[in-house]
Amino acid sequence: MSQTTETPPARDLLSVALVTLGCARNEVDSEELAGRLEADGFLLVDDPADADTVVVNTCGFVEAAKKDSVDTLLEAADLKDGGRTQAVVAVGCLAERYGKDLAESLPEADAVLGFDDYPDIAARLRSIVAGEQHQAHTPQDRRRLLPISPTARDASTVSVPGHAVATSGDVGVGGPATGPRGLRRRLDGGPMAPLKLASGCDRRCTFCAIPAFRGSFVSRRPADVLLEAQWLASQGARELFLVSENSTSYGKDLGDLRLLETMLPELAAIDGVDRVRVSYLQPAETRPGLIEAIATTPGVVPYFDLSFQHASATVLRRMRRFGDPESFLGLLDQVRGYAPTAGVRSNVIVGFPGETEAELETLCDFLVAARMDVTGVFGYSDEDGTEAATYDGKLDEDEVRARTEHVQSLVEELNAQRAEERIGEVLEVLVESTDEGVAGRAAHQGPEVDGTTYLPGSTAAIGSIVRAVVVGTDGVDLIAEPIEGEA
C-alpha cells in the first residue's frame, strides 16, 4: 500500500531568514540556498526576528566587509535572547575563508558552514536547530580542488556556489518548466536580477585573497545560464546583471573564449528581458570582439566595469597585473569609438607597498584623462595569505589614509564633472524605487554602486522603463525629465 506525504502547515515548518552581505555574486548564492531550503521544507521569512534560524551570507573581501559581517552575526545572535530565533549560522566568503578559526573566535554563531555544506544545507540547519554540534571546516586553498588546466576541470566534482542545477523535475523552485531546474528562489522581487556566469579566478594578483577561497575559474554551461535567464525573466526581471569574478575569462574552460560574445544576443532576445549588463572585466583580457559585442548588441547596455586597480606600470607589475596609462586609455578609446556615451566604472587601490609619489601622480593623471563615470577608491591593507602582505616598502597607515582621501576627493570631482557632461542626454531609466519619488538607473549605471537617476514628477511604476532627458546632477546622481513615459 503506497503512502503519501502531506506538506505540513506553514506554522509547523522550520523558518529561516537569509541575510546577504557583499556583492551581487553573494546574492545569487543566497538565492540558491533559499531554493534548496524551500524545496526541502523550510519556510522562508524576510524578518530575522520571525525566523527559527538566521543564515548570514558573509563577505570576506576587505577589513570593513569582514567587520560588517561579524557585526551582523552578533546582531542576529541577540535575537536568541527571549525571541523566536534558535540558531544563527554563518555562511559565505568569511565563513569559507576562516572556517574553524571564525567559529572559535565567534561563539555567538551556532555554526560556521563552508561551501561544501551548501548541497546539504537543509540537513545542516535542522541538526543545528536540534542542538547538534557542527564541526567547522579547516580552510583550504580551493584552487587545488580542480586541475590547473582550465579545460580539464569538472566543476561537478566540487561544490561551487551559484552553479547548482537540480536533476529532478520535483526538486527546486527556481527552474524553468522544462529542462534542468536551477535551485534558486528569488529573495528580491525587483526588476534587476544578478545572473552568475562563472565562479573563481585564475589570476594571481598579489593583493587579492579571493581565488584561494573561491577556487579556480569555472564557467557555467551556456545552456544553464540561458535557462536560468528565462526563468528570471518569468519572475519579472527586466535587467539581467551578469556576474563573476572575471567575466572576460568566460568560456576558456569550455574550449571557446568567445562564448560570451555569442551568448549575449541570445540573452538579450529572451522574452521579457529589456537589457543585459556585463560586470567585472579584466582590462588585460578585454578583447576587441568583446568590446564590440557589449557596445553594439541590441539589448546589451554599453557598460564597461573595468578593473584597472592602478595606472602606474611599475605598481601594476608589483600587483602581478598588466597595463599602463597608454594601453588603458587606448582601451577606453575603443569603447567610446563604438559607444561615445558608454558607462565606464573602475576601482583603484592607493598606497600599495612601495608606491612612490610619482606613481601616485601617474594614477591621478590617468583618472583625469579617463573621464570615468564612477571610480571606487580603496586604501591598501594587508590581506591574510596574500603575497603583497609579505612585501617590503609598506606605507604607514596615516600616509595610506592621506593618499586615499586625496584620490577620493579627486574622483568625486571628476565623476561629478562626467555626470554634468550628460546633461541634455536622453536616457532609458529602469524604475527601481518609488519610496521617495520615482528613481532608477540608466544604461550607464550599474546596480547599487553607480548612482541613481531621479525622475521628479513621474508616476511610473517599479519595473517601468522611462525615456527621459537629463536636466541636472547631484554628484554622480542624475535628475531627468520624462519625455515619452514608459518605453
CATH number of 15-135: 3.40.50.12160
pLDDT band at residue 179 using 50, 70 and 90 as cut-offs: very low
Q: For residue 183, what pLDDT is reported?
A: 76
From residue 101, alpha-carbon distances to 32, 93, 136 in Å are 26, 13, 8
Q: For residue 106, what pLDDT is reported?
A: 93
Q: How many other C-beta atoms are found inside a 10 Å radius of the C-beta of residue 38? A: 19
Q: For residue 338, what pLDDT is reported?
A: 97
- Give ranges for CATH 2.40.50.140 in the chain: 425-482
Residue 364 marked in a binding site: no
Higher pLDDT, 474 or 172: 474
Question: What are the pLDDT digits (tens) for 415-466?
Answer: 999 999 999 999 999 999 999 899 999 999 999 889 999 999 899 999 999 9
177 has a pLDDT exceeding 90: no
Q: For residue 163, what pLDDT is reported?
A: 86
Domain 189-421, what architecture? Alpha-Beta Horseshoe (3.80)
73-77, 146-150, 173-177: least confident range: 173-177
Question: Which three cell numbers mark 83?
Answer: 525571541
Question: Which three cell numbers mark 126?
Answer: 535542522
Burial status of residue 152 (CB atoms within 10 A of its CB: 0-12, 13-18, 19 or more): exposed
Q: For residue 12, what pLDDT is reported?
A: 66
Burial status of residue 116 (CB atoms within 10 A of its CB: 0-12, 13-18, 19 or more): middle
Backbone angles phi, psi at 159, to 5 degrees: -85, 115
- Give ranges for CATH 3.40.50.12160 in the chain: 15-135
5 has a pLDDT exceeding 80: no
What is the rounded average pLDDT for all residues in the chain? Answer: 91
CA pair distance 446, 455, nearest whole angstrom: 17
Higher pLDDT, 398 or 171: 398
Question: What are the pLDDT digits (tens) for 207-218?
Answer: 999 999 999 999
178 has a pLDDT exceeding 50: no
Protein fold of 425-482: OB fold (Dihydrolipoamide Acetyltransferase, E2P) (2.40.50)
78-87, 353-362, 369-378, 390-399: least confident range: 78-87
pLDDT band at residue 484 using 50, 70 and 90 as cut-offs: low
Residue from 39, 41, 50 nearest 14 by CA: 41
CA pair distance 391, 404, nearest whole angstrom: 20
Instruction: Show the beta-strand stretches assigned E in 41-159.
Output: 43-44, 53-58, 87-91, 111-112
Question: Which three cell numbers mark 270?
Answer: 529572451
Residues found in the chain: 487
pLDDT band at residue 182 using 50, 70 and 90 as cut-offs: very low
pLDDT, average across residues 293-304: 98
282 has a pLDDT exceeding 80: yes
Instruction: Show the beta-strand stretches assigned E in 215-338.
Output: 218-219, 239-243, 275-278, 303-305
CA pair distance 120, 97, nearest whole angstrom: 19
pLDDT band at residue 167 using 50, 70 and 90 as cut-offs: very low
pLDDT, average across residues 228-241: 95
154-158, 265-269, 365-369: least confident range: 154-158
Angle at CA of residue 159, ends 248 and 100, nearest 5°? 110
Residue from 395, 409, 328 nearest 355 by CA: 395
157 has a pLDDT exceeding 90: no
- Give ranges for CATH 3.80.30.20 in the chain: 189-421
Instruction: Show the beta-strand stretches assigned E in 225-272.
Output: 239-243
pLDDT band at residue 368 using 50, 70 and 90 as cut-offs: very high
| 213-231 b/e (C-beta count within 10 Å ≥ 16 → b) | bbbbbbbbebebbbbbbbb
Q: For residue 475, what pLDDT is reported?
A: 95
Indicate if the alpha-carbon torsion angle 241, 276, 45, 119 is positive or negative: negative
